[in-house]
Amino acid sequence: MKRNKITIIGAGSVGATCAHWAASKELGDIVLFDVVEGIPQGKALDLMQAAPVEGYDCNIMGTNNYEDTAGSDIAVITAGIPRKPGMSREELIGTNSKIVSEAAKNIAVHSPNAFIIVVTNPLDVMVYAAYKASGFSSKRVFGMAGVLDSARFRTFIALELGVSFEDVSAFVMGGHGDEMVPLVRYSYAGGIPIDKLISKERIDAIVERTRKGGAEIINHLKNGSAYYAPSASVIQMAEAVLKNKKRILPVAAYLNGEYGEKDLYFGVPAIIGGDGIEKVIEIDINEDERAALKKSIQSVRDVLVMLDY
x-or-dash string of contact with ligand TXD, 206-225, rule CB under 6 A: ------------------xx
Does 153 bind ligand TXD (CB under 6 A)? Our answer is no
If binding is defined by CB under 6 A, does position 8 make contact with ligand TXD?
Answer: no
* Contact with ligand TXD (CB under 6 A) among 148, 172, 203, 264: 148
The least CB distance from residue 224 to ligand TXD, in Å, is: 5
Whether the ω angle into residue 250 lies within 30 degrees of 0, i.e. cis, is no
Amino acid at 35: V
Position closest to ligand TXD via CB: 12
CA distances to 4, 61, 238, 276 from 243, rounded to whole Å, are: 10, 23, 8, 11
* The only residue of 48, 76, 79, 242 in contact with ligand TXD, by rule CB under 6 A: 79
State the minimum distance, in angstroms, from the CB of residue 149 to ligand TXD.
Answer: 7
Alpha carbon dihedral 170, 272, 95, 150, in 10-degree steps, equals 10
Residues 83-122 that bind ligand TXD (CB under 6 A): 83, 92, 96, 99, 102-103, 119-121
* Residue of 58, 144, 238, 241 interacting with ligand TXD (CB under 6 A): 144
CA-to-CA distance for 101 and 173, rounded, in angstroms?
25
The β-bridge partners of 172 are: 182
Q: Which is nearer to ligand TXD, 74 or 189 (CB)?
A: 74
Residue 14 interacts with ligand TXD (CB under 6 A): yes or no: yes
Q: Single out the residue of 213, 230, 267, 269 in contact with ligand TXD (rule: CB under 6 A).
A: 230
CB of 232 to ligand TXD, least distance (A): 11
CB proximity list for 122: less than 8 A, separation 6 or greater:
89, 90, 92, 93, 96, 176, 177, 303
Q: Is the dihedral of CA 147, 20, 120, 240 positive or negative?
A: negative
Residues 6+ apart with CB under 8 A from 127: 118, 141, 142, 143, 252, 265
CA–CA dist 117, 142 (Å, integer): 5
Q: Does 177 bind ligand TXD (CB under 6 A)?
A: no
The reply to whether 176 belongs to the active site is yes
Instruction: Judge contact between 100 and 73, C-beta under 8 A.
Output: no
**Contact footprint for ligand TXD (CB under 6 A):** 9-15, 33-36, 39, 78-80, 82-83, 92, 96, 99, 102-103, 119-121, 123, 144-145, 148, 176, 224-227, 230
Residues annotated as part of the active site? 176
